[in-house]
Amino acid sequence: MERLRERYPDRIPIHLCQGVPLLLEVADVECARTEHHICGLLTGTLPLIPQQNVFLGLPLRLLAEEVVYLLRKGVAVLIDETRAYMPPTADERETFLEQEQQQIQAQKERTLQHQDEQRRVIEAKLQTEEAAALERRRARQASKDSSSHDGVSAQDALKRMPYVHYTQGESASIPGYVPCTQAMLSDAPAGAQVNAYTTLGEAMQAGVWTYPRTLEQRARCAVFEDLHEQGYFLSTGLRFGGDFVVYPGDPLRYHSHYTATILAAPEQAVPAFHIIASGRLGTAVKKSHLLCQSNTFVRDDTQAEDRRRRGDDDTLQKPWGQVQYWSLAWAGFGT
């Protein structure tokens, strides 16, 4: 990971885990939000604290449109996590197992030492007269029992003691984790393969990231990019009945002003009841509803996929197309 950051110091590593784009580092989340107006959605929880639904933590999950925007802007590198880990050699595996056994033994010995210290503290407290009398009564009762634990050796105690494994938190310190782009392959360790990509075209050819590949997905990217370039912040619009929720500034400072619905093509028909429902929905959630019509200069999904494969969508210098907006509000309500 350190080699990747040295090679691309101005790019944000996006970790693709089972098709889900994630940001794992606090510095990357801060950079994405403050410099590129990308908010994402925090999804991390603490395993011992149930029912967390207000304050979540890392990792930060990105929308597909946010990933596309960052790659087209040239400020991100997409890492395929399933291929970023090199298989260990026989020597590395043997060394790891030896270190693992040493850590297990050391932890059990520390636990046994801690138990001995606690026992000595407790025994010191039992030196009072009342504690001594209680101890004598317990001793008389214990003498009637045939079983005793006095003969248990320290080694037997170690064997019965549970072991908890602690994994290092930073991926950069984990041996065998080697994110590698095509440009880094010549200097990579033996056995490394290309698993990181800096453009949409590279990720498409590798079969790692194919979004957007349909007419509707291109329209979503076009609307997202157009509103984003105008200074708006965007997030998923599921809560308010749209494709996106549009904020005039950082969502930590502003309420959203619009909910956006995407129309994939200029010729797409919009039923009258859909317009009425959108206007009433915007009023119900106290926002204006945007109908966003996109013309991405492709006629069908086949043309959209061909443009992706040719690399025609790799930079912001080649816009997705033209976008028009209609704002709907129910009459008599001042939204």
**Mean pLDDT, rounded, for 216-230:** 94
Token code pair at residue 33: 């939000």
Which residue out of 15, 37, 287, 289 is catalytically annotated?
A: 287
Nearest to 287 by CA among 247, 230, 243: 247
Clarify whether 287 is annotated catalytic.
Answer: yes
Domain map of the chain by residue range?
Answer: 1-86+176-211, 90-160, 212-334
- Indicate the pTM of the whole model: 0.75
Helix ranges (H only) for the chain are: 2-7, 26-36, 64-73, 90-125, 129-143, 154-160, 200-205, 215-229, 272-284, 301-310
| The one catalytic residue among 255, 274, 286, 318 | 255
DSSP states of 125-163: HTTSHHHHHHHHHHHHHHHT-S--STT--HHHHHHHS--
List, for residues 148-162, the tens digit of each pLDDT value: 455 555 566 555 555
Check residues 280 and 292 and name the one with the higher pLDDT. 292
Higher pLDDT, 112 or 308: 112
Question: Is it the case that residue 146 has pLDDT exceeding 50?
Answer: no
Per-residue confidence band for 177, with pLDDT thresholds at 50, 70 and 90: confident
Dihedral, CA of residue 152, residue 156, residue 161 and residue 166, to nearest 10:
150
Overall average pLDDT of the 246-272 stretch:
88
Q: Where are the alpha helices (DSSP H) in 37-153?
A: 64-73, 90-125, 129-143
192 vs 246, more confident = 246
Q: Answer yes or no: are the C-beta atoms of 61 and 41 closer than 8 Å.
A: yes
Among this protein's residues, is 255 annotated catalytic? yes
Q: For a pLDDT cut of 90, what percent of the chain falls above it?
A: 33
Mean pLDDT of the chain: 83
Residue of higher predicted confidence among 117 and 299: 117
* pLDDT tens by residue, 13-57: 999 999 999 999 999 999 999 999 999 999 988 777 767 666 788
Name the active-site residue from 8, 211, 232, 247. 247
Select from 3.30.70.360, 3.40.50.150, 2.40.50.140, 3.40.1350.10 the CATH code of 212-334.
3.40.1350.10
Mean pLDDT of 270-283: 81
Active site residue 247: yes
List the end-to-end C-alpha distance of the chain, in Å, as a whole number: 48
Mean pLDDT of 127-136: 69
DSSP class of residue 178?
-
